[in-house]
Chains A and B, each alone.
Chain A
Amino acid sequence: MEPKRIKAPLSDEDVLALKAGDNVLIDGVIYTARDAAHKKLVELMEKGEELPIDLKGQFIYYVGPTPAKPGQAIGSAGPTTSGRMDAYTPQMLEKGMKGCIGKGLRSQTVKDALVKYKGVYLAAVGGAGALLSKRIKKSEVVAYPELGAEAIHRLEVEGFPATVINDAYGNDLYAEGAKEYAR
């Protein structure tokens, strides 16, 4: 099946058009954040302070890239394990985040929050960091430079490949996919 082309950031309608199992190619702007950045963002939310980025409609990509060599937009940049972000994801969705991209299982709480706030969880191919880096055309640090690889980057992507795992309807590709091929 041909992948769907989607444009980031996302609207509610964009999210609702996605179903678990869909392969997509993302064009547009996405932001990066992983463990340490999530901790900082959620601490700010709890204090009621302004965030360094506006999460409305945004995709957050869980990635800690390798340093870019001179002339490269970014180094190797595959997804990291999403489950470590589970504790923060419902609050990120409440603040307007529409999609997150990583790899691996999510908690039931996160899956419920995706339904409640109309969000979507996608997986990129874990370990395909060299391939994915070629789909990132531009990268700049927009917050927390002191976190190094964990800083928040603004990425411009073209044809960034991912697969919908958990949609806004409660479907889960990880559960369905394995069922189909189990013996």
Chain B
Amino acid sequence: MREIAASTISEQVAEMCQKANIYLGEDVFDALKKSLKTEESPTGKEVLKQLIENVEIAKNEQIPICQDTGFAVFFVEWGQDAHLTGGTLEEAIHAGVKKGYTEGYLRKSIVTDPLYERKNTGDNTPAVIYTDLVPGDKVKIAFAPKGGGSENMSSVKMLKPSDGEAGVIDFVVNHVKAAGPNPCPPIVVGVGIGGTFEKVAMLAKKALFRPIGQSNPEKRFADLEKKILEKVNDLGVGPQGFGGRTFALAVHIETFPAHIASMPAAVNINCHACRHLEITI
């Protein structure tokens, strides 16, 4: 049994929170630069140039890419031959978030109860944590600071099996069309298909963690990703909704088996600051 100290998890998480908010991943940055070559609208090009400059300023001057440094979302794959010492996993992650957001001058955007007091917790905790137990003794932690503006433009729909591929396409395309400029395009569209009501939403979120440019491993779903991306960009919404060819940088689909009666689908949108970071301990 391999031992991992809770303090190690906290330290690594604190560092991830700061890094993810300041350095945009190369996958997203490359996609932005590529879209500058294909964008037809002059205003759209201007926006993309500002976004590229923004990423460089953030990196050079150590300023968060976006003021919305997000809800801290984690997907943890815990090797079952690893033993955590000195605390629980949740405590360790929360301690890391608190340290990272405080010491990194990141915005604290979480309020206690969602309806009445809405009092800021002051340290951006709690985080949202999903944990899978996996074989081995390694621990993989994937982190994404998820902004509220794009998160608000999300949806789950319980489609019928007879709705088929066309039903999924209609749902996704109509949904992002309605979201329009709100989620800070160019967007990344996370799509979940299958599972249950809550599982499908999690799939859509997980899809946003996949590096841009990496398609679904199954050809039919990879083709569907391409087809939806084309339809989304054909809406003409463009960067920031000012009109143009680059509404989305990518569409990522994640799937899960479904009940014979069900075909749930979910859309979780991410802005162009599609921040995600993964480490293995």
Contact = CB atoms under 8 A, between A and B. Distances in A.
A134 B236 contact: no
A127 B63 CA distance: 12
Contacts of B272: 127
Contacts of B126: none
B271 interface: yes
Interface in A135-183: 148-149, 161, 163, 173-174, 176-183
Contact of A181 (B63, B66, B245): B245
Interface stretch (B8-16, B39-47, B90-98): B39-47
A63 interface: yes
A105 B105 contact: no
A74 B120 CA distance: 20
User: Which of B58, B152, B234, B240 has the largest count of A CB atoms less than 10 A from its CB?
Assistant: B240
Interface string A120-138: 0001011111110110000
A133 B69 CA distance: 15
B73 interface: no
Given A23-B46, A181-B236, A103 B243 contact: no
User: Which of A69, A131, A134, A161 has the largest count of B CB atoms less than 10 A from its CB?
Assistant: A131
Interface string B213-240: 0000000000000000000001111101
A53 interface: no
A19 B264 CA distance: 44
Interface string B242-264: 11110000000000000000000
Given A66-B105, A103-B181, A178-B243, 17 more contacts: A21-B43, A76-B64, A81-B148, A104-B149, A104-B181, A104-B182, A126-B149, A126-B181, A128-B51, A129-B58, A129-B68, A130-B54, A131-B50, A148-B120, A174-B180, A174-B181, A181-B238
A123 B50 CA distance: 13
Q: How large is the interface on B (under 10, 10 to 19, 20 to 34, 35 or more residues)?
A: 35 or more
Contacts, number: 170
Contacts of B193: none
A7 B88 CA distance: 55
Given A66-B106, A129-B63, A183 B180 contact: no
Given A66-B106, A103-B184, A177 B50 contact: no
B109 interface: yes
13 contacts: A67-B105, A69-B105, A75-B107, A76-B67, A104-B180, A105-B180, A127-B271, A128-B51, A129-B66, A130-B55, A181-B40, A181-B41, A182-B236
Contact of B240 (A66, A126, A134): A126
A163 to B, nearest CB: 6
A69 B63 CA distance: 9
A21 B244 CA distance: 13
A124 to B, nearest CB: 9
Contact of A65 (B43, B57, B62, B67): B67
Interface string B101-137: 0000111110000000010100000000000000000
A176 B65 contact: no
Interface of B: 40-44, 46-47, 50-51, 53-55, 57-58, 61-69, 105-109, 118, 120, 147-149, 152, 180-184, 234-238, 240-245, 271-273
DSSP majority for the B interface?
loop
A22 B69 CA distance: 30
Contacts of B44: 181
Contacts of A67: 105-107
A81 B182 contact: yes
A125 B278 CA distance: 28
B67 to A, nearest CB: 4
A112 to B, nearest CB: 19
A177 B243 contact: yes
A83 B184 CA distance: 13
A80 interface: yes
A78 interface: yes
Contact of B43 (A23, A129, A130, A131): A23
A78 to B, nearest CB: 5
